[in-house]
Structure 1
Amino acid sequence: MAKCLKPICAENHVEGNQFLQGVIAMPARRTLEKEQIDSLRKLSDYSENELLKFHGFGKNTISKLKNYMKENNFSFKNQ
């Protein structure tokens, strides 16, 4: 039986960008990193519909982002 239950991928993954950690799931965060969206200001340049086209983004992620952005005085671009 294995001594360690921690996934190997989590152990080997080097996390460089902490942007939105704890707010949205890792697949969506990786997509933002790939698109070079690393601040709320850059995120506010996108509409909800544009973000829904990205991998890892669904209604739940958009809802979490919308709340987080509102708390920090940002909003998505109008359609």
Structure 2
Amino acid sequence: MTQTQAPDPGDLPASIGRPATRALTNAGLTSLALVVQRPRSEIAALHGVGPKAIRLLEEAIVERGLVWGEPG
């Protein structure tokens, strides 16, 4: 029996929760550097990414000195 491995969440904060992490990694967004390249509205539209996850992502982005590109 083979076990399916979850995608590597990279440097995404664990505090955003598994549904949000899964949604981001399934969209190919495995790091904060990749997340900031997409508009907030696109990230927020992913099933599993709610307002709390967006807030926690924004906090992590600021902590790492990144800037979220286009507002949304």
Structure-2-length-normalised TM-score: 0.77
2:8 pairs with 17, 35, 51, which one?
A: 17
Q: CA deviation at 1:34?
A: 0.8
Unaligned runs of 5+ residues in structure 1 are 1-11
* Aligned-CA RMSD value: 1.8
The amino acid across from 1:22 in the alignment is A
The amino acid across from 1:66 in the alignment is E
- How do 1:1-79 and structure 2 match up within 5 A? 14-19=5-10, 20-79=12-71
- Give the SS at the match of 2:37: coil
Unaligned runs of 5+ residues in structure 2 are none
The amino acid across from 1:78 in the alignment is E
- Alignment: residue pair count: 68
Could you tell me whether the CA contact under 8 Å between 2:9 and 2:25 is conserved in 1? Answer: no
Q: CA deviation at 1:16?
A: 4.1
Structure-1-length-normalised TM-score: 0.72
The amino acid across from 1:47 in the alignment is P
> Equivalent residue for 1:5?
none
Larger Rg: 1
Runs of at least 4 residues off by over 6 Å:
none
